[in-house]
Every structure is written in structure tokens, then in C-alpha cells.
Structure 1
Amino acid sequence: MARPRKAEDPARWPEPCGRCGQHHQTVARWPDGGVCTYCYQQAKRTRGRCACGHDGVLPGVVDEQPACRRCSGVVLNIDCRQCGAEDELYDGGRCWGCVLGVTVDRLLTNPTTGVMAEELVPMAAALKAMKRSNSGLTWIRQKHVTEFLQDLAIAPLITHEALDALPKSHTRDFVRGLLVEHGTLPRRDIYRARYEEWAKEALERVRDPENRDVIRRYIRWHHLRRMNQMETVSQGTFLRSKQTVTVAIELVNWLTDRAIELGELEQEHLDAWINDGTTTRLLSDRFLGWAIKARLVHTELKVRRHRRGTSARMSALDQDRAVERVVHTQELTRRDRAAAILVLVFGQQIEDVVALTWDAVKVSDEIVTVRVGKIDIALPDPLDQPWRELAANPGNDLTASHPNSNWVFRGYSPGRHVDPGHLRGRLKDVFSTRAARLGTLHELTKLAPVAIIADALGYSPATIERHAIDSATAYASYIAAVRDDAGPR
């Protein structure tokens, strides 16, 4: 990415640049005039096919079109002394790609044996083949990354367990993702692994050893057992499991502070604890239900349940305004606009949106279809435009993270789609994804039968039925209010 230009200074640099016309320092004189430092850098990075057929760097200008050195008469050293290719040179007459390759080999080679471990070869090859070599070199030369790769080079084993034993860091997770994406390590359920790692740290917050053992059993025999029965653990399951365990820890620590054992817990204790905190303490019913079945609590305790349907819902008018902003403005990137359409128009959950693959999207000159639920839905103009742009340039394809990714919404982590929480955060300035989704489902239930909506959008009939009942109740209240205002006839 080019650096932003400083303000021009005609007093200091009276001669304007022959290309941009601005007053900056002149660093070269070419046939088309003096060239400032910004245009000089841009010229070295301009690639394409010259009118003469030369394919490579086009630093010159002929008839207002980029041209090669021979056609334009520009004198510029852009020949890498290592690989011989035309490219921007970075160090010692070598291009960025060659410097990156040397750096990768040096860091991932065991200094004792002088050999790179076989398990690291695929990742090394992917790093050296990056389309944006300068980004790879910038990343790899950070001190913490350099040190991590050097430690990896001398590791006796390259396994998930070996990486788990290293200090937790973004670099560790990113390198693990690269190793998985390029076939060195097997894929594993990322949210289940994160939960296990989080649980170990969470147990340290339990002050009483006996209660720590109880929470450990709760995690193992309730949450982890459920996760083991799932094909894939979703982010929602991961977050809910963390929250319920956190609430359980708060409860047992509260009991410890008052010298009350878990088996002595009475309704009055529970009521006092709940009333003295936030509504998230109502989630203790999940832990207590398990504890009663495990005969750790001997009293039938009651916790009032959190009422469903209390979340905010976007009105139809606000939905229309949000769609207008998404479709007709450039507030969001093409990726975020495409995702927003699925939420606003089709009531899709963010977790399902980010998991979409290109197998479910068809883009042709005539039509764009997206598989939502069990059917392919055609997107009319202008809803199709962000999807056409995204198909032409899916993004995140210049590094080693996504060599052959099929995700529609690629994330920054290797081989992973964008994080649902990250996408929610990007959309929140335009609309709340939850409020928008609930508002859309509320409106759709007025237009079609429950069974059709559930099947088309991939929801359970029971979920759509709740929205339909809510929608009908709201409409009935509206009719009653209108009749009351009208008075007797």
C-alpha cells in the first residue's frame, strides 16, 4: 500500500513533478520530465503488458499509457540480481520475493543440523510464494514472530500438543493456522480447542479446591461431552458455555466467601446472590440443574427463567433505511455489504453468513443466486452488485493464509472465515445484526406461511412460529387500538 502523500511545498520544491504536477522533491529525470519521489515509487510498482507486448514492470509513459523501459526510454534498475525478474528491488539488488525467501529459509532452518524439518517445508514454500512479498517480510521481521519461528525450527516435534505447550499468543495461533492450512497439522475444531484452553484458566479462578473439582466435572461431563457430540462447535455454543461456567464460578466463590458449602445451598442463599447481581446470574439454572442431577445439591432450587423475545427488534422503516445505506452508499466494504444483505433482507444469522462457501453462490452475467436455507434465491439489482464485486475480488488472497480458500467471507486467520464477532462489529455503525434479523423475521411472517419461511431460510418451524405469533399479536393490538380511536359507529 502506498504511503499517503505529504502536503506539497512549492517554496521548497519550485519545480512541479512531470507526472502528478505537485511540488515534491525531484528524485529522477526521465523523458517525460522530473519525477517526484511518490511517482517514482509508483512507477517501480506499475506492472502490466506494454503496447510492444512486454509483460512486466512499466515505469514509463507513452501516449498517456504505461510503457516498458525500452519503449519509454526510462533508465531504472528493476532487474533482480538473484532471480533475474523485473520487480521493485528491496535489498542488495534483490527483489522483495527473493529477500523474503532467504529470510524464511534462514528462520525455519535448524541452525544445528542445517536442515529444515520436513513438516515445515510446505509452510515455508507458501510463505515464499506470497503475492505480496513485502507484507510477508514486514510480518516475519517482527521480533516476536522471528523468535517464534526460530523456536519452531528447533522443536523436536511439530504437533498441536507441542504448540499448546507454548505461551498463548496471536503469533502461535496464526502459525498454527498456516501449518493446518498447508497440510502439516490435521484440522481440529477450533472453538472446542479454545474452550478447553479457556477452561484451564477459568478453573484457576475457583478459590475453594473442592468447588474447583466440581466446576472441573461440570466442564468435562456437561459442556465438553456435548461438544464432543457435535460435528462442529459453533461460536454461539462456545460463548454460551463460557458464560454459564463463569456464572457457576461466581456462585461457588460467593458461597466460599460466606463459608457455605455447595451441598448446603438453600433457596434463600440463591435468591440473595441473584438479587445482588446482574441478570446473567439467572443462567445459574443450567449449572444448578446439573448439580442437582449429580446430587451435589440436595434442595430443589428455583431460578426464574430469562424471558424470550425481549431483545430489541428493528422496525420496518429502519430496515428500509439500513438497506438503502448498504446498497446505495460506500460506507461498508463490498464484503460487508454482501453480508449485510443476507441479514437485512433474508434474516440470516451472522454465524451462518460467515460460514457460506462459493459452492452456495452462483454469479453469471444474467443472475446472482445465493443458497439460503434449502433453496437458491436470486438477488435482483441492485442487491446483486456487492456479490458481483466480491466474486471478482474476494480479498485476502495475497498472503499464505488462503491459497485455495472456498470461503465467501475470508478472514485474516489462515484457512478461516471471518470471525462472526468481528463482522458484527463492522456492521454495528449501520445496524445491529440481531435487531435487524429479528425485525426481518417479524415482517416475513406476515407475508408467507410458517412452513415455507422456515424451509426457505433454514430455520426450525418452532422458531418461525414464535415470530409469527408475535407478529399476529402485534397486528391484533394495532387493530384494537385503531378501533378504540375510531369510537362506536
Structure 2
Amino acid sequence: MATELIPLAAALKSMKRANSGMTWIRQKHVTAFLRTLAAAPAISHEIFDELPDSRTREYVRGLLIEHGVLPQRDAFLLRYDSWAAQALERVSDPQNLDVARRYIRWHHQRRMNLMDEVTRGTYLRAKQEVTVAIDLLNWLTSHDVKLSELQQSHLDVWQAEGPTTRRIAGRFLKWAINTKAAPLGLTIVPHRRGTSPRLAKPGQDQALKQVIHDNGLETRDRAAAILILFFGQQAENIARLTWDDVTITEELVTIQLGTIQIGLPDPLDKPWRELSANPGHDLTASHPNTRWVFRGASPGRHIHPGHLTTRLGKLFSTRAARLGTLHELTKLAPVAIIAETLGYSPTTIERHAIDSAAAYAQYMAAAHQQRTSQTVRASDGE
């Protein structure tokens, strides 16, 4: 069995900085784990699952997947299945337990099983939706209310008593109504859109100037920042970019964002050319042949979107910058074109367009009032 670990040892020795790999493997907890693994009759995902859960276990598993010892598998789907089984233990009423189990199985797990790959965002949203649904069901139990007898007044009280995340129960409520588990006509007060701050145009220009001209920034941070400041891309979408999405020629760098390849003119293309010339995949054994542009800490994985936003946070708020960019873009092009080009839904872009139009209308009204006042003062002077 130990021969199956040979590719891992060879990979560690072939690293550009092999000493760091050997330092990691000599740590007591890593050495102990590898000894336990070497004593197993065979290496498989099932064997890994039987070992105590730890970061070391999952990191070694990732290394073995990346180097072809273990087959690929949908990690987030498996993690969700395991999490859901534990979440169901929190449901206090047997009748509601059946509802929650059906909601998990037929709404979330069924949808995940149809996906080519379950993303981290899908995994986290599904967890949050189930958590809030269970909170609602347990609240109903504590107030002697059956889901089939739920009234709008109950929902209003439950939502008012808790955090704003309770609005997410609207997704569970819609499912419950469609499956006849809850009465018709019930609603959850939705999140009021448009309350998040936007990075104004001067702030965007200053951030972009720093990204382009500050050589002290890491190349990957500069490349990601350009996609947010110029094209309003979400961190999750940026993190999932591969080199298959990027085309680099002597004349132009293009990136596939939505349905169209977007060209990056000089100087926006410089960070991407630098990354292409020196991706740095040989620095560790975690990403020997990766296609991820923004590789992560875990073997074979892209960067965590939250880690990406944290890195860029020293420059600007990624959310505020993204919303500010979309706000400005809707002044320049039709909604349908922006949505198709950048990979957004038309509804999302239309909402920003409405906000832009309102702001522009206010500007025009203020300008008209100023011109009128100037005319009046001039008349009075004459």
C-alpha cells in the first residue's frame, strides 16, 4: 500500500521550494496521519472518510486527487449530504422532520445531483436556507402551530423577532406552498434592494489608478481588481476562472466573462500577461498542472472567494466597487447587452439601470434649477 504514496513523495521533492514541503511533512500531526494512512489496506475515499475529520486529512486527500492516486469526486455535494443529516437532528417535531427531510432531498439534493459540479456558493446557500427553514419549523412547534395551519400573522411575528436572515425562509415557504405543505397566499417580507453602498466614480478612478500603477501589489490581486472595477464581476466568478477562459496574443488579452470574450487593452492586460508568463504552479505540490488562474490553498482548488475579497479589501470594498461599476455601465449601454456580455441576469442589470436613470434625472433637475437661478439673478442685476 505504501507504494501508492510514492507520487506524493515525488511531488514534494520536485517542488521549486522543496524544503517547505519537507518541513510540512515532518510536522508531528502530519507524520502521524501519514503513518495511519500507510497502515490501511488500500487508499480510497472510503478509507479517508473513516479516519478522524481534520484539515490534514482533507489536505492529503486533495494532494492524492491532484496527483492521480485518488479519483475526483464532488466534495461539496458530499459535505452537504453529511451536513444535512446532522441538521435534521435539530428538528424538534417528528411531523416537521418529515417536511424538512423532503425539502432537503427533493429541493436541494436533487438540484445538486443534476449539476456538473456543486460550487461553494451553492453549498453555502443551501445550508443557510435549510438552517432558516428549521428555525421556522421549530418556532412553529414551540408556539403549537402546525405548518399546514400557518397564518400570515405567525410569519410576521417570527420574522420581526429575529435577524434579517429570516427573510431567506421565503424560498422554503414557496416550496412548502407548491407541495401543499403550507397554505396559499403566505409571504415573507423580502430584502429591500438598493441599500448597499456603492463606490462612487471618483473612488473607482482612484482605486483603478492604484491597481494599474502600484507595483507593490501582487499580480493576481491586480488582475482580479481590474475585473471588478471595469466589469463588475463577482469574486466567486473571478475565483473560478481557468486559463481556458483567457486568450493571450501579442495584440490583445481576452477573457470569457459572459457569452462574449472581453478584450483588455493596455495597461489593463499587463497583470494577465505577467500571470501567463509566470503562473507559479511549481511553488508547491498542490497545483502541479492546475488550470485555475487564481489557485487556492487547498490542492487542486481555486482560491476561496472570501479570501479573495479579503485580499482586495486593502484597496476597496469589492461589493461597493462592483455595484458602482454596474451603476456606471448602465449609463453607457443597453441592459440586454451588458447582461449578456458580463454574465448577469437582465433583471439584475435592469435594476441598476433604473437606479442610474433616477440618479441622472436628479442631476438634470439640479442642473436645470441652477441654470434657472442664474438666469433669475442675471435678470435682477439688469
TM-score by length of 2: 0.89
Equivalent of 2:290 in 395, 401, 405: 405
| Residue 105 of structure 2 is aligned to residue 220 of structure 1 | yes
SS at match of 1:377: strand
Partner residue of 1:428 out of 292, 313, 332: 313
Contact 1:368 1:379 (C-alpha < 8 Å) held by counterparts: yes
Tell me which residue corresponds to 2:380. Answer: none
**Which of 220, 227, 245 lines up with 1:335 in the alignment?**
220
Match of 1:318 among 187, 197, 203: 203
Aligned partner of 1:174 in structure 2 is 59
8 Å Cα contact 1:265/1:297 also seen in 2 = yes
Question: Which of 143, 152, 155 lines up with 1:267 in the alignment?
Answer: 152
Say yes or no: does 1:351 pair with 2:266.
Answer: no
Q: Once the two structures are superposed, what CA deviation does each residue of 1:252-296 show, in whole Å capped at 9, x if it has no partner?
A: 222233343433433222211111112211111111222233333
Is 1:126 matched with 2:41?
no
What is the SS of the residue equivalent to 1:382? coil
Equivalent residues in 2 for 1:105-116, closer than 5 Å? 116=2
Q: What is the one-letter code of the residue matched to 1:213?
A: D
Secondary structure at the counterpart of residue 400 of structure 1: coil
More strand by share: 1
Q: Are 1:389 and 2:274 matched, yes or no?
A: yes
- Distance, in Å, in 1 between the alignment partners of 2:93 and 2:41 is 38
The one-letter code matched in structure 2 to 1:153 is A
- Whole-angstrom distance in 2 between the partners of 1:429 and 1:474: 29
- How far apart, in 2, do the equivalents of 1:388 and 1:298 lie? 58
Larger Rg, first or second structure (1 or 2): 1
Structure 2 residue 122 is matched with structure 1 residue 237: yes
Moved more, 287-296 or 258-267: 258-267
Q: Is the 8 A contact 1:395 1:410 kept in 2?
A: no
Residue 265 of structure 2 corresponds to which residue in structure 1? 380
Asked whether 1:293 is paired with 2:187, we answer no
How far off is 1:116 after superposition? 1.7
1:479 maps to 2:364? yes
Q: Secondary structure of 1:429's match?
A: coil
Judged with a 3 Å threshold, the aligned counterparts in structure 2 of structure 1 residues 143 and 210 are, in CA distance, closer, same or farther, namely farther
- 1:330 and 1:394 map into 2 onto residues whose CA distance is 17
Whole-angstrom CA distance in 1 between matches of 2:12 and 2:346? 47
Q: Residues 396 and 412 of structure 1 are in contact (CA less than 8 Å); yes or no, is this contact kept in structure 2?
A: no
User: Which aligned runs of 4 or more in structure 1 are off by greater than 6 angstroms?
Assistant: none
How many aligned residue pairs are there? 374
- For 1:222 and 1:429, the matched residues in 2 are separated by 39
8 Å CA contact 1:402, 1:415 repeated in 2: yes
Letter in 2 for 1:116: A
In structure 1, what residue type is equivalent to 2:364? I
In structure 2, distance between residues paired with 1:401 and 1:439 = 36
Percent identity, please: 63
* Kept after mapping to 2: 8 A contact 1:396/1:411: no
- Aligned equivalents of 2:140 and 2:254: distance in 1? 56
Give the drift of 1:388. Answer: 2.7
Whether contact under 8 Å (2:149, 2:182) holds in the other structure is yes
Structure with more contact order per residue of length (Cα contacts < 8 Å, sep ≥ 6) = 2
Structure 1 residue matching 2:90: 3-state secondary structure: coil
User: Structure 1: how far apart are the matches of 2:279 and 2:186?
Assistant: 53
Find the residue that maps to 1:448 and give its secondary structure: coil
2:378 corresponds to? none
Structure 1 gap ranges (5+): 1-114
User: Which of 438, 441, 445 is matched with 2:323 structurally?
Assistant: 438
Per-residue Cα deviation, 1:381-422 (whole angstroms, up to 9, x for no partner): 332222233223223422221111121111121111111111
Q: More helix by proportion, 1 or 2?
A: 2
1:331-379 per-residue CA deviation (whole Å, 9 max, x = no partner) reads 5311111111111111112222112222333445554333333444343
Three-state SS of the structure 2 residue aligned to 1:397 is helix
Match of 2:349? 464
Q: Which runs of 5+ in 2 are unaligned?
A: 376-382
CA gap 1:191/1:432 in 2 versus in 1, 3 angstroms: farther
> Offset at 1:319?
0.7
SS of structure 2 residue aligned to 1:311 = coil
CA distance 1:382–1:278, shift in 2 (3 Å): same
Contact in 2 for aligned 1:117/1:153 (Cα 8 Å): no
Structure 1 range deviating more: 466-475 or 415-424: 466-475
SS at match of 2:177: helix
CA contact (8 A) 1:450 1:468 kept: yes
Distance 1:259 1:376 in 2: 56
Conserved in 2, the CA contact under 8 Å of 1:248 and 1:284? yes
Q: Aligned-pair distance for 1:208?
A: 3.5
Q: Is the 8 A contact 2:112 2:118 kept in 1?
A: yes
- The amino acid across from 2:92 in the alignment is R
Q: Name the SS of the counterpart of 1:204 in structure 2.
A: helix
- Taking a change above 3 Å as real, the CA distance of residues 201 and 321 of structure 1, as seen in their structure-2 partners, is farther
Which moved further from structure 2: 272-281 or 323-332?
323-332
Distance in 2 of aligned mates of 1:148 and 1:214: 40
Alignment of structure 1 residues 44-193 onto 2, 5 Å: 116=2, 118=4, 120-193=5-78
Secondary structure at the aligned position of 1:471 is classed as helix
